[in-house]
Amino acid sequence: MRIGGVDFTWGRRTYIMGIINVSPDSFSGDGLTGVDSAVEQAMNFAAAGADILDIGGESTRPGSLPVTTGEELRRVIPVIERISAQVPVPLSVDTYKSEVARQALEAGAHMLNDIWGLKKNRELACIAAECGAPIVLMANQREEPAGDIIPAVIADLTRAVEAALAAGVAEENIILDPGIGFGKTVEQNLELIRRLGELKILKKPLLLATSRKSVIGHTLGLAENDRVEGTAATVAIGIAAGADIIRVHDVMAMSRVARMSDAIVRGRNE
């Protein structure tokens, strides 16, 4: 897969996606409110080993209030423009709104990250197809809680892939995310991490986003800003189970975890 002029070869090593939240109500308390601070974080993340930067302007925490398209554009477009001009790392935009996706790609983003897996807006797939942009499709059970989580996630992701292909997205431009924390119980989230390798049946690269999430908080009894060790455990086990990309807040620490995990799992020590 080629993202922003950079080749990604799945299976050779784990790639790091750094999270840049420009929403003031981010669940993890890391929301940025200024363009300068977002650019500074992007530079720091790039220096720390981020391969992709994921920029989001709307909180996805449970119970958060949706923002208007205009407000989301106001938050993300200036940030994307500045970062794309100053930081030589591919950019992703975390959105399910078609107008935000289109303008973000025009402003300098290179891929889309849809937490609803085309359930809310199939036009995202059309935009990705038109622009030749990769797209992350996530399994989201918030509106359809599941009893048996692995078959439910596989079915949800299969539906999303079929919708993307029908819209013209290239087969090689699809990345899948099991959606840790989105409509799943603590037990289901732990099971998904443990059995992540079973999703390889879908024959797509897998993105694992566990960073600072509530499954860690509930398991360890820790606040959002005190979950780095718990995140590290999920990242290491996720890589062993087949994760290709990890989406994280703590880029430097998790880059080191990924490198060590790759040395063990993939025999790669670089």
Angle CA 29–143–22, to nearest 5:
25
Q: Which amino acid is at 145?
A: P
Domain ranges of the chain: 4-8+12-264
Active site residue 200: no
Q: Of the residues 213, 259, 266, 268, which is catalytic?
A: 213
Active site residue 204: no
Q: List alpha helices for 89-227, DSSP H.
A: 98-107, 123-131, 149-166, 186-194, 214-220
Average the pLDDT over 236-248 and give the result.
Answer: 98
Q: Of the residues 247, 256, 259, 266, which is catalytic?
A: 247
Q: In this structure, what token pair is assigned to residue 17?
A: 């996606």
Q: How far apart are CA 97 and CA 69, in angstroms?
A: 7
Residue pLDDT, tens place only, 118-148: 999 999 999 999 999 999 999 999 999 999 9
Pick the CATH number of 4-8+12-264 from 3.30.200.20, 3.20.20.20, 1.10.580.10, 2.30.30.100: 3.20.20.20
Question: What predicted TM-score, i.e. pTM, was given to this entire model?
Answer: 0.94
Average the pLDDT over 10-31 and give the result.
Answer: 80
pLDDT band at 270 (very low <50, low <70, confident <90, very high): low
